[in-house]
Amino acid sequence: MARALKWIDGILFGIRKIFDAAGNELPERPQIKIVGAELSDDAVNRWTLIDISGGVGSTGPTGPTGPTGPTGPTGPAGADGADGADGADGADGADGPQGPQGPQGPAGPAGAGGLGSASPPLRLTGDALDWYPTADVAMNPDGTQRAFTGSSGLSGTTVAIDGTTVGVGTSTATGVSIGRTTIPTTITGITDSIYNGFTTTKTLGRRLRQTTPSDAGNTVRFSPSDDWEAHARVIGADVTFGARFTLEPTTGGNLTLRWERNAGSGYSDAFAFTTSSAGQFTAGLTAIRFLALGSNGAFWLDQDRSGMELGGSGEFLISGRSPSQPFTMRGYATAASTDAFRFWAIGETKAADETIFAIGHGTSWTEIAKATADGVWDARELHDGGALRTADFDAKANFTYICSPSSGAITVTLEAAATANKGKLIEIINFGSSTNNILIQDSGGGNIIAGSVVAATYTYGVAGSVRKFKSMGGDGWKLVCSVN
């Protein structure tokens, strides 16, 4: 052990003091236990050999992998591999351009002469329609199709089919019919059909036909429709407008000619003419406008909707709706015995007090006058003149005025009889018990006629009295009623 202490002292470079972890000097050197080692003295070298190379301990855990080193240089290329099998054939390429046309072969023998000509412009050879060689003709490579490439070869010529002459180029054929022709679905450009030569004879110009017969499963087949289309820019966007006309038969033997309109949101009815009974057609309707209003009908003559219509309860209405023009009904009679105008309550004989004619106004019906079957006109004659008058005032025709002269005499100035319509009335009522005078004058200087007295002023002073004056035109006002 002494040798071990010397060895420890040697390791500590001769420092003989040993301290603990807190810095306190240990009074004696710590004990050292050497496990798994062999001690031997080396007298020659004067040391103690401690052999701690005992058996190898277990391998510790593998440390983390270090970073990847740089890539080394590329090695030499290996030998070529064996060739693979051939791939499938690719798709055929597009056909190349057609080669130049070969030289024209020699002319064949001349054909037999056609109708009316030794060498007609158009001829039938076997089952093929052939062109006369002077025309400008293009041939397909296989020689099966032929077509004109220009019109120079046909200038001024004609084609004869069953003896009918057809114009070529700008020529015009009249009354030509060549069998039946199928027209393509869409024809672009102007179609100009001209039919000349007839006078007052009705001549067919165009025909739209439904030739498929009706049957038990399809009892009605409409005609093809004529359809017109137009466009307008509305609020910054294009709108398609249209009109369509169709013949619509019925199984009852009637027919309807229907006109439809499209204002941009699809087709709807504009108007229709319908036969009233099988084989009968009632027409002759001409109007600026015709509209169907729900279950009611209307025949309007202007944009204000003046005209005839059916009311909501089925009544017949004649309406004048112009905001600036009155509705006027006029009747003319050329003989003294002929009525110029009649209102006839037809269907029954009315009782004497039953109405046959009424006048009203307002947004809803308000009756203001009527005529009864006994010929009596039942209407309010005079309007209310307003509040009680206690001083001088002016009176208008067709009014009733209530006054009280209790504070003194009152002068009432009537509307000038000369300007008021002849026959109009003014009524003055003295309300109360005052006997002060009421003086009646004409504002136009006319007279007041009271019985046999004709004067510029009519004066009376009777309490609770009523006086009624009637316009006599230029003759003044006449007292026609005096009640005291």
pLDDT of residue 283: 45
Going across the sheet that includes 425-430, the strands are 383-384, 399-403, 425-430, 466-471, 477-483, 448-450, 453-455
**What is the rounded distance in angstroms from the CA atom of residue 414 to the CA atom of residue 394?**
6
Model confidence, pTM: 0.33
Closest CA to 476 of 422, 429, 407, 438: 422
Query: What tokens appear for 248 in the block?
Result: 């619509």
Q: Which residues pair with 382 in a beta bridge?
A: none
Q: Which run of H or of E encompasses 463?
A: none
Q: Give the pLDDT confidence score for residue 369 in this predicted structure.
A: 80
Positions of E strands within 108-154: 122-125, 128-131, 137-139, 146-148
Whole-angstrom Cα distance, residue 327 to residue 306? 9
Do residues 205 and 195 lie in contact, with contact meaning Cβ atoms separated by under 8 Å?
Answer: yes
- In this prediction, residue 4 carries a pLDDT of 57
What pLDDT is stored for residue 458 in this prediction? 95
Q: Structure tokens of 50? A: 């401690």
Q: Average pLDDT for consecutive 10-residue bins of the chain (484 residues)?
A: 57 59 69 65 72 60 83 85 85 83 78 47 52 47 46 42 42 41 64 79 84 95 93 94 92 85 87 65 45 57 72 76 79 80 83 85 82 75 87 92 94 88 86 91 91 92 92 90 89
| CA pair distance 358, 317, nearest whole angstrom | 14
CATH class in words for 383-483: mainly beta
The owner of tokens 């440390």 is 63
Q: For the chain, which residues make up each domain, given as ranges?
A: 2-51, 226-279, 340-379, 383-483
Q: Can you give the pLDDT at residue 34?
A: 63
Strand-pairing partners, residue 47, are 42
317 contacts 311 by C-beta, under 8 angstroms = yes
